């Protein structure tokens, strides 16, 4: 699977948003975090695999909470799919701030 990089990355009120655009055979390969995060699919579809389970998500699926310390991966299933990872951070030192001038 081709690893995606965020197309948009921003923080609002201490919450980080990472937006990914991709097509089949791309996504975020198996990994884990020390924090939980929510994943939501805005367009197309993706499959989330975690700890031996899997679930296909699309724009009609409720956001999925991925627990801290559990491995997971997100694979894009359709062309022009868009998904977002959202998580609260304890430190203001990382990521970008959204500003409109």
Condensed to tens digits (0 to 9), the pLDDT of residues 21-55 reads: 999 999 999 998 888 899 999 999 999 999 889 99
- The residue ranges of every structural domain in the chain are 2-88
pLDDT in tens, 40-94: 999 999 999 998 899 999 999 999 999 888 899 999 999 999 999 999 765 444 4
Residue 7: count of CB within 10 angstroms of its CB = 12
Q: In 1-101, at which residue ranges do the beta strands (DSSP E only) sit?
A: 2-3, 8-12, 15-22, 26-31, 37-43, 45-50, 53-58, 64-66, 72-76, 81-88
> According to the model, what pLDDT value does residue 33 have?
86
Fold of 2-88: Jelly Rolls (2.60.120)
């Amino acid at each position: 699977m081709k690893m995606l990089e965020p197309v948009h990355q921003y923080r609002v009120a201490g919450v980080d948003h990472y937006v990914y655009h991709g097509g089949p055979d791309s996504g975020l390969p198996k990994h884990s975090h020390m924090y939980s995060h929510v994943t939501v699919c805005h367009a197309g579809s993706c499959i989330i695999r975690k700890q031996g389970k899997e679930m296909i998500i699309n724009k009609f699926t409720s956001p999925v909470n991925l627990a801290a310390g559990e491995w997971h991966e997100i694979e894009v299933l359709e062309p022009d799919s868009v998904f977002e990872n959202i998580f609260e951070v304890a430190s203001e030192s990382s990521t970008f701030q959204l500003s409109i001038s």
